[in-house]
A and B are shown apart, each in its own frame.
Chain A
Amino acid sequence: MHSHDFVIQTRALSKRYGRKLALDHLDLAIPRGRIHAIVGANGAGKSTLFRILMGFMPPTSGEARILGRDSQSLTPADRARIGFVNEEHTLASWMRVSQVTAMQRHQYPRWNQQAFDNVIGHYHVLPEQKVGQLSRGERAGFNLALALAQGPELLVLDEPTLGLDVVAKRAFLESLLYSNAADDCTVVYCSHQMEEIERVADNLIILERGQLTHMSAPEDFTARVSHWVADVPFKGPDPRTVPGLLEMQRLDGLHHYLVLDQDDGFEHFLRACGARNAQSMPVSLDRAVNAFLAKHHAAPAAA
């Protein structure tokens, strides 16, 4: 693939804050089109990555390109091609909805009024309302409408539903999914909400400690993680010997294992460890990702 086939490309991208590495020689290439979800625990480097990609922070080393441009030398025209929605939905609270809309319409040459109307139609937002008077959900929807109406080639959504209630989250996702404008651009969706990821994402990107640890379709990822329930008398095998172990629990006398990249051979392993019975079950994306991320979560040395 050529470099212009990727909306985001990083090579050995690193960022260091004092003694801590926020991004650790990250190599990431996100292809054009579709919705890509980036997930990671807090501190995985998502926000740092976005700030570097938008040109608001220099990398310590490495290279970051967005829409084929060096992220540190984006022009105003480049910025017109990139929409960005953050979790705070920062908009001028003192202005009316109509005034903010008029300002954006004037600034963005590829303004798509129909896209704006389509999205804002999901919300009960009046033009004469001040932005500061909108509910958090309405502000999120208004922000999404503005971003999509800009006609971006790449839309970055950085935890856009953070702090929204269930109804507002659903409205936000529906307005995104049913917008034709979203079909015309690549969407990078950063979230901790796995049910949202499961619903919208075509591609799942997992960042851990500043490194790329997984990238595939969500269903491919869930296929890598399997849940085994085994009836093992006594203690069961030493966790350190369990291959691909992500999570282990003992409930009602049964051992539950979440394991990565294990096929039917894992059943033989369990039986070899004394399991009288072993059974595999499918895993939800939420559980699979949580177990995957929790495996490398920092813990006290004594734990």
Chain B
Amino acid sequence: MIDLFKGELLRFRLWALVAAAIHLAALGFLSRMVDLAQQPLQVYQVFAAVYAVAGALLGLYQMGSYRKPNQWLSLLHRPLHRLRIAAGLAGASGLVLLCAVAVPILVVAAWQDALTARVVDLRHWLLPLAGWLIAVSGYLAGAYAMVGDRRYSFAGFLLPNLFMYSQASGVAMLAVQGVAIVFLAVLLAIAFKPDPTATPRHPLALAAVALPVQVGAYFLAWMLGYGVELGWTVTGTHPLNAPVPPKGGTIEADRADGKDLLLLGLAGSRDPQAALWREQVALSDVHTRYPLRHLPTWNTLTNPAPLEFGDDVNNTLLVFSHDRARFVLRGLLDNRPRGELGVGAMQAPFPAPTLPYGATYLFNAQAAYQYETEQQRFFERIRLPAGEVMASPPEPAGDNILVLSDRAAYFYPGREAMNGLDLLTPLLRLPMPGPVGQLGRMDAIELLDGYLVSFTYTWGVWGGELQQPYQQVVHVDAAGKVHDVARRPIHIDLPAAYSNRNFWLSPVIRALCLGARDLFAADDPLAATPERVPDSVLWLAAACGLLSLLGALWLTARQSHAPRARWAWVLLCGVVGLPALASLWLLYPRRERLPVPAAQPAQAAA
């Protein structure tokens, strides 16, 4: 094994050095321009994609060069176990990627930590590892795609894509990457044999190979749904492209301006004041809020947005440090360190990673702060009750300040907010009628005696996570008394069979994908649990399962299976649905039938 490892290192050493040099030069150049530790998520995603593609190209090239029949025979026909040969090749590639991907990031992080005043936290030191793991997962997916049966082996590329959708962060994300790598390594180990196209016989190996194929078939079928949308667009029947969206639908609710939406909500109200409020809506400013979907968490490897802001008065840049739970200051002109800032006079640590917004305001999951430039101090202005998290940071709504938590809307006194730096006490608390994870928008107008607020729950209808969207209009008076004004059901503009196709195609695969998305992830208070799908969709899923079962009966009769394996496949297709049937078709070639043997010529003799 060590000989092959050394041989492959020899083969790729120059490539590794050149790639490392280019990578280091690119990172070094960008570091001179910006602080790479404080970039928005999209920048890290671009880097991750480049690492994954680089790894995949290496895997495709390396295994592609061995995969021709004679090369494959030369590689595997030696007195070494096949897994030791695979380990030699993959180990060398892992080291090559370590050199080309991880080392340059590490060098730049070390430079930034040692020679600049920029913030380098523990989470940043994990970035080389994350980059390397992403590249290795790309490599393994590429290697498996090239070694395995090409009818289905490209499904391995789905696994690195999981990182895009995973809800895990920080070390948990590294664990997700580790799981993906182990799974891909198992796939490569299964395929890395003299006849890589042979379908594995061991049930566990077969399950491992079939799983990405089924998920791939599921995604492909799901993506084909967009072809249906394209058809609607071409025929001019797509509700999204209609000049006027369908009445009473989610598109209308999402697109309407605040006044129209409030009027739609009030239209069916029997409240005696409804007519008066309709007039007031026409005359008032509407304050619309869209809830946050994610909050920064401790030691997350990336940033939803840069955790920094500038104090132009004092020529200082303030950068939030996860390790210190405080802002670290450095001069804007001289880039020299200028200490740290916590909350208040005691310089207390922030309770959660804190994002700047507006000129001098900041917020995190639990509180909002104001930075006072003259005193160069953070003042806590708003603190949410224990157990609630921020869903929308404080912003003016008429004379007052409106804040959304995951459970309620809070109104704080605007005058005190403007004229002081003390912690504010809410004037009003308005409980939300539904989960914030389903809240599409909130619209409010200020009344003489409180607020008229509309909560529109439409978030998740496109993915089938919300089945019964609605709008609720609520009045809260100056004393904080809340009463419901109207509730309007909103219909979904697309057919249930379309928006729920991710369910009926395979409820099992959908549950598996959701599980993979949430693997090692902490509970997200801003997310909602998917709602139960309608009965019609359940029947559709059952029909697909039955169709798949019948299809498996027909297909397995034309393939080579042991009786027990055949019935296991039939049952699996019935349970998993059409993706399992697709995997059955791809994994097993049609049975080879032989003609009646012809007699050997009489001359042939030993």
Which A residues are within 8 Å of any B CB, using their own CB?
12, 14, 16, 21, 24-25, 27, 29, 31, 51, 54-58, 60-61, 76-77, 79-80, 82, 84, 86-88, 90-92, 94-95, 99, 102-103, 106-109, 211-216, 224, 261
Contact = CB atoms under 8 A, between A and B. Distances in A.
Contact of A211 (B7, B78, B601): B601
30 contacts: A21-B594, A24-B597, A25-B597, A29-B606, A31-B606, A55-B194, A56-B72, A58-B198, A76-B78, A76-B80, A79-B78, A84-B73, A84-B74, A86-B70, A87-B70, A88-B70, A90-B71, A95-B7, A95-B11, A99-B10, A103-B4, A107-B78, A107-B79, A107-B80, A108-B79, A211-B598, A213-B604, A214-B603, A215-B606, A261-B603
A56 B11 contact: no
Contacts of B604: 27, 211-215
A90 B74 contact: yes
Nearest to B196: A56
B3 interface: yes
Interface range for B: 20 to 34
A55 B598 CA distance: 25
A106 B10 CA distance: 17
A77 B79 contact: yes
A90 B71 CA distance: 6
A195 B538 CA distance: 74
Contacts of B70: 86-88, 90
Contacts of B605: 215-216
A92 B601 CA distance: 43
Interface class of chain A by DSSP: mixed
Interface of B: 3-4, 6-7, 10-11, 69-74, 76-81, 194-195, 198, 592-595, 597-598, 600-601, 603-606
A261 B602 CA distance: 12
Contacts of A79: 77-79
Given A56-B72, A86-B70, A211-B598, A109 B7 contact: no
B539 to A, nearest CB: 41
Given A16-B594, A90-B71, A216-B605, 12 more contacts: A16-B593, A25-B598, A27-B600, A56-B195, A60-B594, A77-B79, A84-B73, A95-B11, A103-B4, A106-B3, A213-B604, A224-B603
Contacts of A88: 70-71
B79 A16 contact: no
Contacts of A76: 78-81
B198 to A, nearest CB: 6
Contact of A92 (B11, B78, B603): B11
B194 A16 contact: no
Contacts of B10: 94-95, 99
B7 A56 contact: no
Contacts of B595: 21
With most chain A CB atoms within 10 A of its CB, the pick from B79, B595, B600 is B79
A82 B600 contact: no
A212 B605 CA distance: 9
A92 B603 CA distance: 43
Contacts of A86: 70, 73-74
Contacts of B76: 56
Contacts of B198: 58
B598 A109 contact: no
Contacts of A94: 10-11
B268 to A, nearest CB: 67
A101 B35 CA distance: 50
Contact of B3 (A14, A51, A84, A103): A103
A27 B597 CA distance: 12
A82 B76 CA distance: 12
Contact of B73 (A54, A95, A212): A54
A152 B400 CA distance: 90
Contacts of A16: 592-594
Nearest to A24: B598
